[in-house]
Structure 1
Amino acid sequence: MPVPIPRQRAVPAVEGGQAQAQATPDTETAGPTVLTLLVIEDDPAGSLSIPEMPDAAGRPIRVRTARNLTEAERLLTHDVNCVLLDLALPGARPDADELEALRHVLRLAPRHAVLALTASGDAERGAEAVRVGAQDYLFRDELDARVLGRAVRYAVERKRADVAQRKLTESRIRAQENARLERGLLPTPLLDGSPLRFAARYRPGRSRALLGGDFYDTVRTADGTVHAMIGDVCGHGPDEAALGVELRIAWRALTFAGLCGDELLSTLQQVLEHERESDEIFATLCTVDISPDGRRAGLCLAGHPSPLITSPGRPASLLPYENSGPALGLLPKARWPRMQVELGASWSLMLYTDGLIEGRIGEGNRRLGQEGMVELIRRQRAQGLTGEELLEAAMNEVRDLNGGDLTDDVAVLLLDR
């Protein structure tokens, strides 16, 4: 038999008068949770009655009521699964339209199922409520246990399906955005006419939710000079990745325009200062310009680890790094000395981001570090590994030493002559 809507609060008000509307409702969780229905209506005559209704397992659906939107906000806690709103309820604003109350509830409870209650025969208004965002509408004089119980269960399931579909769509969009960012961060090298061999690897870290800020590029200018760079924007996420793309593209444009060394890095710092969202954002960078004969190179370091070089009869070692400058974005009017280094007739040059050397060794707190990386590359070169195989083996061994995937993203670039 029908029972009057209880006028007392079934749960205490949330402190401060604020509802936990953003908490995850039971519409997103599977299991034997008892359904709870929040009815929002203001009928002075008290003519509206809610029948006792079972859920799919035969247990009674709990009913809670609110006389107005303010009270509904206090009662809309995480255990509410569905809201039944009387469309006759006045909106929060005197000049609002007839569906303003519904829009208010949808804003208040975006993750809850919502049913609209309308006068008998007012199907047009009910249909408009569904177009606005309600899961379904019911007529006021047709609230029997079978109709209402089924409507509540179906609304909860439809909302759960909608939430799952939205999450899937958002996941696909993020994957597409990441793919576009990755293409910008990790471009195809422009080395036509150069005898140098190019190889690169990028591996995301386990701690980030989105693509990180590691980036690299390699181009050959008209005079035969090969320019290579690798960099890392601090932080992880789409903003950092987008800034990395901007810096890489700016580096390529400035390099083709004839800039190098301190002049190039000073200009890149201006780009970073104008494009970053916070003054705390900075980027490390390593640039190398290799002479047309391949025997010499200019090296600039902006807070970045020094490249590693190997050559026949010479063990792997780091290029000089004593005169390196600060990371881009840290100091105004900073300078970045260009160091001249001798490469020799045959060599292999490896540029990398700090994710490669910050992995830990075993279960202790000791990091691999640059010295550990140098020893690792020496062993692998002694085994005859070069090019793509060397990079893949190096990254796999660093991961194994760390006991699993590295926390930070890793990018490695290899040039061979």
Structure 2
Amino acid sequence: MVTEQHRQPDPLLARTDRLHLLLVEDDDGDAVLVEALLEETDLRFELHRARNLDDALDALDAYPVDCVLLDLGLPDAVGMSGVERLRSGQDPPALVVLTGHAGVDLGVQAVAAGADDYLVKGEVEPDLLSRSVHYAVQRSLWAEQQRALYRSQVRADETTRLERALLPTPLVRDDAVAVMVGYVPGGNGLLGGDFYDAVERPDGSVLCIVGDVAGHGPDEAALGATLRTAWRTLVLADTAPEDLLPLLERVLVPERARPEVFVTLCQILVAPERTHADVYLAGHPAPIVLGAGATLLDTSARGRALGIPVPGGWRAQRVELGGRWTIMLYTDGLVEATLAGSEHAVPDGGRAGRLERVGLEGLREVVDVALADGTEGIVERVIRRVRSLHGGPLVDDAAILVVGWGGPDDARPAGRSASLADSAEWDR
């Protein structure tokens, strides 16, 4: 039996202009009475009928139902079992119980078991039936929104925990070596494909890496975490530094979601005596040396990005560091950040052109200004300054790793700091 009433749309029902009702009633006479009452209401509805609870559960799987009108006296449901079974599914519809008992106790038990309302047969008027269905549906919609909000909060909490797990604690035992790291995701997200790490090897040398998976999202974040974990595992296994990038590419190719995904990275190996470093570049911007000013490291041994099927490998370039030094590795989210309000008009009256980018020289100037307050806290100052120039959260992820050494005569412990992606500092 399907009945449809065409009346004015109900203002209370924002989700649909027609209610899908399911009457679960084994008595034909009672079913006719309920249908007649519905026809006298202001509801716009489509009515379906099931004669027992099993058929009702099948109906809920077959088509959408906004509200169930349930008779408690069904041949396959005793007492509150019908209410409990209907409420046991995921995102159940609104539920109004119909009972032939005039006492209050049975209705209260039904509401306690999960029904939104109850009505006594023979005492129901059209207005009462209309209000009961209205309120039941609205309560169901509210409960659905609360469940969605809860699920969203749970996902956000889980994502935050995952993000924290993706950001490693550098394994550098030498207290004289400073290691400061920072990471913020692009677009106010929590997951990104940038990664970093620093590990001290048994011979006292320190290996550092910063990498960037092309793209942004959960797939890229998972790939970045996989590559970072693989890199650390290889380093702890005392793999030769020159073999790390080829092995990482062997991990990357089968793990990436699409064949066009590639990874850029910068790896530096600081010698045990701290006087020089070997720099490996795989399609990545060169590090910045922090001293009296910020200087882009002059590197000519730039190799291709990992995952790009063209000839060529990666070789180290030796860089002399001197007695005291600090180096900053970073990802291109800082370089490619645009400058707010920097649009230029196109000649001949065309539309405004692209926004200018911070660029490598602009980032060097940002770091130069940040150095005025020393190296302590420089990671936070650089990221905050770039965000300010951009006019808000960055579009792409950004990671920074600063490693430094105070020289052979500096006995003070070096600085260690980490600014995580969910830190409230970035929104101040």
TM range, normalised to the smaller chain? Answer: 0.7 to 0.9
Q: Does 1:316 align with 2:275?
A: no
Counterpart-to-counterpart distance in 1, 2:231 and 2:311: 18
| Structure 1 portions without partners, runs of 5+ | 12-24, 55-59, 67-84, 91-95
**CA apart distance, 1:294:** 1.0
Residue in structure 2 matched with residue 99 of structure 1 by the alignment: 57
**CA apart distance, 1:397:** 1.4
**CA apart distance, 1:259:** 2.5
Residue in structure 2 matched with residue 86 of structure 1 by the alignment: 49
Residues 144 and 126 of structure 1: CA distance in aligned 2, closer, same or farther (over 3 Å): farther
Farther off after superposition, 117-126 or 188-197:
117-126
Work out which of the residue numbers 356, 362, 369 in structure 2 matches 1:366.
356
Query: Does the Cα contact within 8 Å between 2:7 and 2:43 map onto a contact in 1?
Result: no
**CA apart distance, 1:414:** 0.8
**CA apart distance, 1:401:** 1.1
Residue in structure 2 matched with residue 171 of structure 1 by the alignment: 152
**CA apart distance, 1:137:** 4.3
Residue in structure 2 matched with residue 160 of structure 1 by the alignment: 141
**CA apart distance, 1:304:** 1.6
Counterpart-to-counterpart distance in 2, 1:223 and 1:156: 69
**CA apart distance, 1:40:** 5.4
Work out which of the residue numbers 140, 160, 183 in structure 2 matches 1:202.
183
* Poorly superposed stretches of 4+, deviation over 6 Å: 8-11, 41-46
Counterpart-to-counterpart distance in 2, 1:322 and 1:161: 62
Residue in structure 1 matched with residue 20 of structure 2 by the alignment: 38
Deviations 1:291-335 (CA, angstroms, capped at 9, x unpaired): 0111111111122211101224xx321223433222222227751
TM-score by length of 2: 0.73
**CA apart distance, 1:283:** 1.9
Task: Indicate the SS of the match to 2:86.
Answer: helix
Query: Does the Cα contact within 8 Å between 2:24 and 2:68 map onto a contact in 1?
Result: no
| Structure 2 portions without partners, runs of 5+ | 101-120, 343-354, 406-428
TM-score by length of 1: 0.75
Q: Does 1:269 align with 2:226?
A: no
Residue in structure 2 matched with residue 129 of structure 1 by the alignment: 86
Work out which of the residue numbers 271, 274, 282 in structure 1 matches 2:262.
282
Counterpart-to-counterpart distance in 1, 2:332 and 2:383: 12
Residues 295 and 360 of structure 1: CA distance in aligned 2, closer, same or farther (over 3 Å): same
Counterpart-to-counterpart distance in 2, 1:8 and 1:150: 16
**CA apart distance, 1:247:** 0.9
What is the correspondence of 1:317-396 to structure 2 with a 5 Å cutoff? 317-331=295-309, 334-364=312-342, 365-381=355-371, 383-388=372-377, 390-396=378-384
Residues 307 and 100 of structure 1: CA distance in aligned 2, closer, same or farther (over 3 Å): same
**CA apart distance, 1:194:** 4.5
**CA apart distance, 1:214:** 1.5
Residue in structure 1 matched with residue 203 of structure 2 by the alignment: 223
Residue in structure 2 matched with residue 16 of structure 1 by the alignment: none
Farther off after superposition, 237-246 or 37-46:
37-46
Deviations 1:101-126 (CA, angstroms, capped at 9, x unpaired): 12223xxx4xx733244485555474
Deviations 1:261-288 (CA, angstroms, capped at 9, x unpaired): 4421111111112222222222221111
Counterpart-to-counterpart distance in 2, 1:163 and 1:270: 46
One-letter code of the match for 1:366? E
Alignment RMSD (CA, Å): 3.4
Counterpart-to-counterpart distance in 2, 1:229 and 1:260: 14
Counterpart-to-counterpart distance in 2, 1:176 and 1:8: 45
Residue in structure 2 matched with residue 15 of structure 1 by the alignment: none
Residues 137 and 224 of structure 1: CA distance in aligned 2, closer, same or farther (over 3 Å): same
Q: How many residues align?
A: 359
Counterpart-to-counterpart distance in 2, 1:184 and 1:302: 25
Farther off after superposition, 269-278 or 176-185:
176-185
Residue in structure 2 matched with residue 81 of structure 1 by the alignment: none
What is the correspondence of 1:224-239 to structure 2 with a 5 Å cutoff? 224-239=204-219
Deviations 1:59-113 (CA, angstroms, capped at 9, x unpaired): x7432326xxxxxxxxxxxxxxxxxx422399xxxxx8662112223xxx4xx73
Query: Does the Cα contact within 8 Å between 1:194 and 1:224 map onto a contact in 2?
Result: no
Query: Does the Cα contact within 8 Å between 1:34 and 1:62 map onto a contact in 2?
Result: no
Query: Does the Cα contact within 8 Å between 2:18 and 2:44 map onto a contact in 1?
Result: yes
